[in-house]
């Protein structure tokens, strides 16, 4: 492990934050400038969104099932087992749905973006694009950012729905709850603020996942070892940022709606 002075470590971290911020800002501004590379965005939406659907469905279903199963004993102690649908719906829509879906997307897509762009960087394909007059940020980054944000929104909705289905399966099969009562509690307990809080987070998390993956991919150096290192860093950084930003975003949204 390389030993560096504290000042050098601070300088490197400040440089990383600065370069990432510039890349993130360009990814947004480029979306409003021509050419827009719509075909690339559609292709990335298929790879990122449709390709992530199985893991999102499995994660959401088992999360809702485990949530209903773990909380049933506590609710039964207070004679409130009928509130299982309310607990599952509020927990999935407000917090667990968007966060767990984003973490799954970070593990699958941040690593995929970083490895793909990293391979292009070490083989000098990105330098060749610049030589031909093509802006790599606009051609490679912006379509991935737009597609990730767009698809994560709908994947979160699917995750919320299958999470409710998973909770219903456990409630009906193991807890003996009436299906109508479960779904009625799940629907009636949700408010407009809950839905807005849950569906506004995917826009922020999708932006984090895509921009972090693109940054580490484009900054890859050192051949195949550098690609592997960038892939790992992209997953770790995006996952940590999602969890940290979720706290501040939740605090802001709770303050706004309460």
Once rounded to an integer, what is the mean pLDDT over residues 41-63? 92
Using one digit for the tens of pLDDT, what is the confidence trace for 102-133? 999 999 999 999 999 999 999 889 889 888 88
23 alpha-carbon distance from chain centroid: 18
Once rounded to an integer, what is the mean pLDDT over residues 160-173? 93
Residue 238 has pLDDT above 60, yes or no: yes
At how many degrees (to 10) do helices 142-173 and 84-91 cross?
Answer: 170
Using one digit for the tens of pLDDT, what is the confidence trace for 55-105? 999 999 999 999 998 888 888 888 778 888 899 999 999 999 999 999 999
Q: Is 64 exposed, middle or buried (0-12, 13-18, 19+ CB in 10 A)?
A: buried
Residue 1 has pLDDT above 70, yes or no: no
Residue 198 has pLDDT above 60, yes or no: yes
Least confident piece of the model among 55-64, 137-146, 216-225? 216-225
What does the alpha-carbon distance between residue 2 and residue 191 come to, in Å, rounded to a whole number?
53
For the chain, the domains span 36-257
pLDDT exceeding 90 applies to what percent of the chain? Answer: 55
* Residue-level pLDDT at 256: 85
- The half-sphere exposure of 55 on its side-chain side, counting CA atoms within 13 A, is 16
């Amino acid at each position: 492990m390389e030993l560096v002075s504290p000042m050098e470590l601070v300088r490197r971290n400040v440089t990383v934050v600065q370069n990432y911020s510039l890349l993130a800002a360009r990814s947004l501004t480029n979306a409003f400038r021509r050419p827009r590379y719509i075909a690339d965005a559609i292709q990335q939406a298929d790879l990122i969104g449709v390709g992530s659907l199985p893991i999102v469905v499995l994660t959401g279903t088992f999360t809702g099932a485990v949530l209903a199963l773990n909380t049933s004993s506590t609710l039964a102690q207070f004679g409130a087992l009928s509130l299982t649908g309310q607990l599952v719906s509020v927990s999935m829509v407000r917090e667990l749905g968007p966060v767990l879906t984003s973490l799954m997307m970070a593990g699958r897509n941040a690593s995929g973006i970083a490895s793909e762009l990293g391979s292009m960087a070490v083989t000098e394909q990105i330098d060749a694009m610049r030589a031909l007059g093509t802006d790599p940020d606009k051609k490679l980054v912006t379509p991935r950012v737009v597609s990730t944000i767009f698809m994560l929104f709908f994947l979160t909705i699917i995750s919320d729905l299958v999470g409710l289905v998973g909770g219903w399966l456990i409630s009906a099969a193991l807890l003996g709850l009436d299906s109508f009562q479960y779904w009625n509690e799940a629907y009636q307990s949700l408010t407009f603020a809950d839905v807005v809080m849950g569906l506004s987070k995917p826009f922020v998390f999708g932006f984090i996942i895509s921009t972090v993956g693109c940054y580490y991919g484009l900054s890859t150096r050192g051949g195949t070892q550098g690609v592997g290192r960038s892939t790992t860093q992209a997953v770790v950084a995006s996952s940590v940022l999602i969890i940290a930003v979720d706290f501040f975003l939740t605090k802001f949204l709770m303050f706004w709606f309460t």
